[in-house]
Amino acid sequence: MNRYASKRVASLGTTVFGEISQLANELGAINLGQGFPGFAGPDIVKSAAKQAIDANQNQYAPPYGIPRLQQAIADTYQRAYGLSADPGSEVTVTTGATEALLATMLGILNPGDEVVVFEPFYDAYPAQASFAGGSTRPVRLQTPDWSFDPDELARAFNERTRAILITNPHNPTGKVFTEEELDLIADLCQAHDAIAITDEVYDRIIFDDAVHVPIATRPGMRDRSITINSTGKTFSMTGWKIGYAIASPELTEAIRGAHQFITFATATPFQEAMATALEDALESSYYADLKSRYTALRNTMKAGLENAGLPVLPASGSFFLLADAAGRGFEDDVTFCMHLLREVGVAAIPPSAFYQDPSTAPILARFCFAKESDMLEAAAQRLANLSQAPAGS
């Protein structure tokens, strides 16, 4: 018991990503746990950051983002999804999607308010809602296709519901929500005067014929949606933490009310460089190339897992695959992932960390395939030695 820790943080524990990465380092395992690209981002983006630093663009940025980046974000969403946003009053640059999510929760929730989330959920959401005095109400995505029961979703909305948070494409399942599913959610938002927060950090990493649709573009949703994204995954620079929120002026004002006292502003040279990244991607084949690169990596990972006798669940987006470990004789996903780490030398995330009651989670393991293909092949070789659970595990 840490006598200095507030009740707010004492109950949170340590994030599963930190724990698994640390163990992977200690044990020399191939780390397919925490989600971050194992390859470098584009050279022009790196050069743009160096140039901005050398040009002494190193003082505070305007609190809501440098105008060039706000404009590039608005242009990007307009071009990709037909969503128009006024850069000055509707686009806010934040320190990663993480800060955009926190500023949103602090900006729109009152104590006692609820946010509906799909379970499994990204682990930051309940913690962030609780910082704002609110809580999350999970609705299950069900294996194997990660569909949800519309009645269960309808029942989750009540007089305390302030918002629903949709991760789309979804981490950890790789689900991409269909237009029909989004419209069902949209109807509930309108009936209950709730806000749709959408976390779209994997919008450029989708596969086959999947189509990403921001809920903000569905009828009646433009002004009750907060669209959150990050340049971290899209440009393979998660360490720069350049994220953003797009929302109506009124919702933006609420988000900015919190943002100004969380970080005030985000790193200036990296904003300049991400403006270059987005501007360039509008004129080049960057997004198509990213999709083909990830499709090849996804195929390599899938083949490696299947070769190890681990069936892979369907996934249309994100850089994760979930492998089914039920029937391998392990008690739960944590035991399975610890076996992988210690005996096989591959780190994966046990998705029970993304369930309100971890004991109800299916026995799966999440593998991040945002790595060079030789690393995925080395992992596949190790996984081929995977045995059944040792007796007593």
* Strand (E) or helix (H) holding 229: strand 225-230
- Provide the minimum distance between the beta carbon of 228 and ligand PMP in the complex, in angstroms, as a whole number: 8
Measured distance CA(186)–CA(181) in Å, rounded: 9
362 forms part of the interface with ligand GLN (CB under 6 A): no
- Residue-wise burial string across 38-77, b where 16 or more C-beta atoms lie within 10 A, e elsewhere: beebbeebeebbeebeeeebeeebeebbbebbbbbbbbbb
Yes or no: say if 23 and 29 are a contact pair by the CB < 8 Å rule. yes
Binding-site member from 30, 31, 32, 35 for ligand GLN (CB under 6 A): 35
Which of 379, 289, 367 has its CA nearest to residue 325? 367
* Residue 333 partner contact from ligand GLN, ligand PMP, none using kind-dependent CB cut-offs of 5 to 8 Å: none
Measured distance CA(236)–CA(372) in Å, rounded: 12
Sign of CA dihedral 237, 238, 239, 242: positive
Measured distance CA(226)–CA(207) in Å, rounded: 25
* Residue 17 partner contact from ligand GLN, ligand PMP, none using kind-dependent CB cut-offs of 5 to 8 Å: ligand GLN
318 forms part of the interface with ligand GLN (CB under 6 A): no
- Which residue number is nearest to ligand PMP in terms of Cβ? 96
37 forms part of the interface with ligand GLN (CB under 6 A): no
* Residue 34 partner contact from ligand PMP, ligand GLN, none using kind-dependent CB cut-offs of 5 to 8 Å: ligand GLN
17 forms part of the interface with ligand GLN (CB under 6 A): yes
Tokens (6 digits) for 58:
């190193």
Measured distance CA(129)–CA(114) in Å, rounded: 8
* 136/171 with CB nearer ligand GLN: 171
- Provide the minimum distance between the beta carbon of 173 and ligand PMP in the complex, in angstroms, as a whole number: 11
- Provide the minimum distance between the beta carbon of 380 and ligand PMP in the complex, in angstroms, as a whole number: 24
CA 231 to chain CA centroid, nearest Å:
11
- Looking up tokens 């590039």 gives 72
List the Cα angle 189/143/116 in 5-degree steps: 25
Binding-site member from 76, 171, 227, 300 for ligand GLN (CB under 6 A): 171
- Provide the minimum distance between the beta carbon of 21 and ligand GLN in the complex, in angstroms, as a whole number: 8
Q: Determine phi and psi for 112, rounding to 5 degrees.
A: 95, -15
* 24/344 with CB nearer ligand PMP: 24
Contact residues: ligand PMP, CB under 6 A? 35, 96-98, 122, 167, 171, 199, 201, 230, 232, 238, 241, 243
Yes or no: say if 291 and 266 are a contact pair by the CB < 8 Å rule. no
350 forms part of the interface with ligand GLN (CB under 6 A): no
* Residue 97 partner contact from ligand PMP, ligand GLN, none using kind-dependent CB cut-offs of 5 to 8 Å: ligand PMP
Measured distance CA(270)–CA(388) in Å, rounded: 47
Instruction: Give Cα separations from 26 to 20, 30, 161, 205, 386 (angstroms).
Output: 10, 11, 43, 30, 21
134 forms part of the interface with ligand GLN (CB under 6 A): no
* 200/333 with CB nearer ligand PMP: 200
How many residues bind ligand GLN (CB under 6 A)? The answer is 5
* Residue 287 partner contact from ligand PMP, ligand GLN, none using kind-dependent CB cut-offs of 5 to 8 Å: none
**Diameter of the chain by CA atoms?**
63
Which of 268, 266, 276, 243 has its CA nearest to residue 59? 268
- Provide the minimum distance between the beta carbon of 322 and ligand PMP in the complex, in angstroms, as a whole number: 14
Binding-site member from 31, 32, 34, 354 for ligand GLN (CB under 6 A): 34
- Which residue number is nearest to ligand GLN in terms of Cβ? 35
* Residue 243 partner contact from ligand GLN, ligand PMP, none using kind-dependent CB cut-offs of 5 to 8 Å: ligand PMP
* 236/238 with CB nearer ligand PMP: 238
* 97/310 with CB nearer ligand PMP: 97
Strands, sheet with 114-119, edge to edge from the N-terminal-most edge strand: 91-95, 242-247, 225-230, 195-199, 161-167, 114-119, 135-140
Tokens (6 digits) for 73:
């974000």
- Provide the minimum distance between the beta carbon of 321 and ligand GLN in the complex, in angstroms, as a whole number: 13
- Provide the minimum distance between the beta carbon of 368 and ligand GLN in the complex, in angstroms, as a whole number: 6
- Provide the minimum distance between the beta carbon of 182 and ligand PMP in the complex, in angstroms, as a whole number: 17
- Provide the minimum distance between the beta carbon of 285 and ligand GLN in the complex, in angstroms, as a whole number: 26
Residues that bind ligand GLN (CB under 6 A): 15, 17, 34-35, 171
